[in-house]
Amino acid sequence: MKFNTLSKIFCLAGIIASPLSLANQTDAGISFTTVPDVSILQLQAIQFGGDMTLSLNDTCSLLVSAAVGPDEVDSGIAPNAVVGEAATFQQRGGSCDPTNAVDGTAGIYEVSGGAGVPVKITVNTLTGTNFNFVPTGAIGNYDGANTANGDSLQDITADTEHTVNLANVNDVINAAQGGSPQAGKTKIFVGGTLTASTALTAGTPYTEQFTIDVTY
């Protein structure tokens, strides 16, 4: 989904007349500016990995959150302090990997729009043919600071609208801590929990699609 946001300014000029004189007329100017369409691009698909055998109602989780997330370089944020990648970022758990022996791969999605503009992001649950999926994750949120770093990752709650700011020019110019913001952009990192709605067969690839809504 994508929407334009229009900012309109109307200027009204009056015409004043008096007896025995000519009327003076001033053109009234009308101007407006649009921000670029907001869009989303998949940089990396979410993958829970191979060698999974799940019976009906078994679960498999992929750990991604603001606290358990990527480092500031991968996320493109400039926080107040250096933030390294969490040791358990993308770790699998549940019935598919009870010993947490194998990592999966978080989904990464890039949102583009107007520099410094707030955007609304909703990551939706999935009721699929073979499994259901409840997403978790993190979104980069930029503070637009003139003098200091203050960008952060914000937690994702499934089916909940989150408002974050896209990076602006100040975020780019004044970034000194860690990552490199890009004006007009942010990233979404997605993990979560899938639950088998049928018995899944080992060695068989299963693919479903969930949706992410992004609007101004």
pLDDT (tens digit per residue) in 129-140: 999 999 999 999
What number is the average pLDDT over the span 9-30? Answer: 47
pLDDT at 83: 85
Is residue 18, in this structure, part of any structural domain at all?
no
Is residue 206, in this structure, part of any structural domain at all?
no
Closest to 182 measured CA to CA, from 172, 194, 170, 197: 172
pLDDT at 190: 97
Residue 45 has pLDDT above 60, yes or no: yes
Find where tokens 């007009």 sit: 184
What number is the average pLDDT over the span 153-170? Answer: 96
pLDDT at 20: 44
pLDDT band for 33, please (50, 70, 90 cuts). low
Is residue 27, in this structure, part of any structural domain at all?
no
pLDDT at 26: 60
Is residue 17, in this structure, part of any structural domain at all?
no
Is residue 93, in this structure, part of any structural domain at all?
yes
pLDDT at 188: 97
pLDDT at 35: 72
Residue 163 has pLDDT above 60, yes or no: yes
Is residue 128, in this structure, part of any structural domain at all?
yes
Tell me the residue range of the domain where 69 lies: 38-201
What's the angle, vertex CA 154, arms to CA 70 and CA 176, rounded to 5? 60
Dihedral of CA 74/76/77/78: which sign?
A: positive
Q: Do the Cβ atoms of 97 and 50 come closer than 8 Å? A: no
Measured in whole angstroms, the distance separating CA 165 from the mean position of its chain's CA atoms is 10
Q: How many domains does the chain have?
A: 1
Give pLDDT tens digits for 60-98.
999 999 999 999 999 999 888 888 999 999 999 999 888
Is residue 210, in this structure, part of any structural domain at all?
no
Is residue 188, in this structure, part of any structural domain at all?
yes
For 171, phi then psi, to 5°, come to -60, -40
Encoded amino acid at 162, one letter: H
